[in-house]
Structure 1
Amino acid sequence: MEENSLGGSKYLLLIVDEASGCMKGFCLRAKSESEDCIKTYIMKVQKQFGKKVKFVRHDGAREFATNSLKAFYEDEGIEQQTTVPYAHQTNGTAERAIRTIVTIGRSMLHHAKLDKCFWAEAAMTAIYVKNRLPSPKIEHKTPFEIVYKSKPSVKHMRVFGCRTYILTPKEKRLKWDPKARAGIFLGYEEVW
């Protein structure tokens, strides 16, 4: 990204499940962090859902082609597919997903009148929302629904960048102190 996030991240790693369209994002300070994120994510998904990841498709970037990652894929029985350099169409699913998340995130930042340093929060919120939107590619179900076998609740959803109030616990305030302080809504806690 052009600017570091508030947390110091410079890169967005986006993993897309081709069957459901479900996305998982990781904000990284260095590209070298990709390897641990990928390994952890694959192991967690396989354990949580009891299914094996069959293949991983990526561009030929150095951080996706380490010997350690190749060995991990081999140990896990995962086929590694590397796309043709500079031919983004050969990795269409991921490239389209990245474009969608950046477009949604940019729109959210603009609408909220927030600085670019909030790009990570905007991207993660865009991923969260997109996973809960119906898609014609999967019979108008949501990616969340395909993965978790239940419709997602959207009752808790709010507009990115809207005003929020953070309650100050009773134990931490005096009689005449305000009960809450103003804040800005920057996204959701993703539990997976």
Structure 2
Amino acid sequence: QKYKPLDRISIDLMGPIEPEALGGHRYVVTAVDAATKACKVYLAPTKDAAAGFVKETISWFEQRGGCSVKAIRTDRGSEFLNKELMEWLQDRGIIHEKTAGYEPQQNGQAERLNRTLMEGTRALLIQSNMPHPLWGEAVRTVAYVRNLVPAKGTGDKSPAELLTGS
């Protein structure tokens, strides 16, 4: 299926991750746009904090993409199914696609992003001899760099260029 920017954002939660990152974070909320492959990550101290980061993620994409998010895709984790988030999405006209239980491949873009981020994070920590509690900073760095480098399926443009149009 051919997507336009912000037609669908796939969102997932990784964690708990040990050791705890600086700031007491143990989870990572990850999001990727289906069309541009642009990604955003947030560190979260608890699973329950993820709902707030979903709202921030949508705002982040809309500010950069210049249009509204049409749909998000998540698994059926309780962090994505709370009443407040569901009402917020409905008020904004955002469709919430939920994968079938225990079918992570139905949210394949988010799962692939998670793998890429964790592989890059491990490589960065090992290569630079950084202490493991700095994994949070490393995962943010990997996501930042990933947005600036052309990705498979994006031609010669970076995800950031495709998202912002510049």
TM-score (norm 2): 0.85
Which residue of 27, 46, 51 corresponds with 1:30? 46
Q: Please report how far the alpha carbon of residue 45 of structure 1 lies from its aligned counterpart in structure 2 after TM superposition.
A: 3.5
Q: Please report how far the alpha carbon of residue 47 of structure 1 lies from its aligned counterpart in structure 2 after TM superposition.
A: 4.8
Q: Please report how far the alpha carbon of residue 136 of structure 1 lies from its aligned counterpart in structure 2 after TM superposition.
A: 3.0
Contact 2:64–2:163 (Cα < 8 Å) also in 1: no
Q: How far does the alpha carbon of each residue in 1:75-105 deviate from its partner, in whole angstroms, 9 at most, with x for none? A: 0111101112222211100000000000000
1:89: which partner in 2?
A: 105
Residue 131 of structure 1: SS of its match in structure 2? helix
1:98: which partner in 2?
A: 114
Q: 2:25 & 2:37 partners in 1: Cα distance?
A: 25
Bigger Cα Rg:
1
Q: Which runs of 5+ in 1 are unaligned?
A: 151-192
More helix by share: 2
2:160 aligned with 1:144: yes
2:104 aligned with 1:79: no
Larger relative CO (CA 8 A, sep 6+): 1 or 2?
Answer: 2
Q: 1:121 & 1:89 partners in 2: Cα distance?
A: 27
Q: 1:114 & 1:136 partners in 2: Cα distance?
A: 29
Q: 1:45 & 1:138 partners in 2: Cα distance?
A: 17
**AA partner of residue 143 (structure 1):** P
Q: 2:81 & 2:103 partners in 1: Cα distance?
A: 17
**AA partner of residue 67 (structure 2):** K
CA 1:141 to 1:47, structure 2 compared with 1: closer, same or farther past 3 Å? Answer: closer
Q: How far does the alpha carbon of each residue in 1:30-86 deviate from its partner, in whole angstroms, 9 at most, with x for none? A: 111111111133234435544111101001110000011111111011110111222
Give every structure 1 segment of 4 or more consecutive aligned residues whose post-TM-superposition deviation is greater than 6 Å. none
Residue 100 of structure 2: SS of its match in structure 1? coil
**AA partner of residue 18 (structure 2):** E
Residue 53 of structure 1: SS of its match in structure 2? coil
1:133: which partner in 2?
A: 149
Cα root mean square deviation, aligned: 1.4
Q: Which runs of 5+ in 2 are unaligned?
A: 1-16
Contact 2:44–2:50 (Cα < 8 Å) also in 1: yes
Percent identity among equivalent residues?
Answer: 31
1:59: which partner in 2?
A: 75
**AA partner of residue 91 (structure 1):** N
2:26: which partner in 1?
A: 10
Q: 1:21 & 1:100 partners in 2: Cα distance?
A: 12
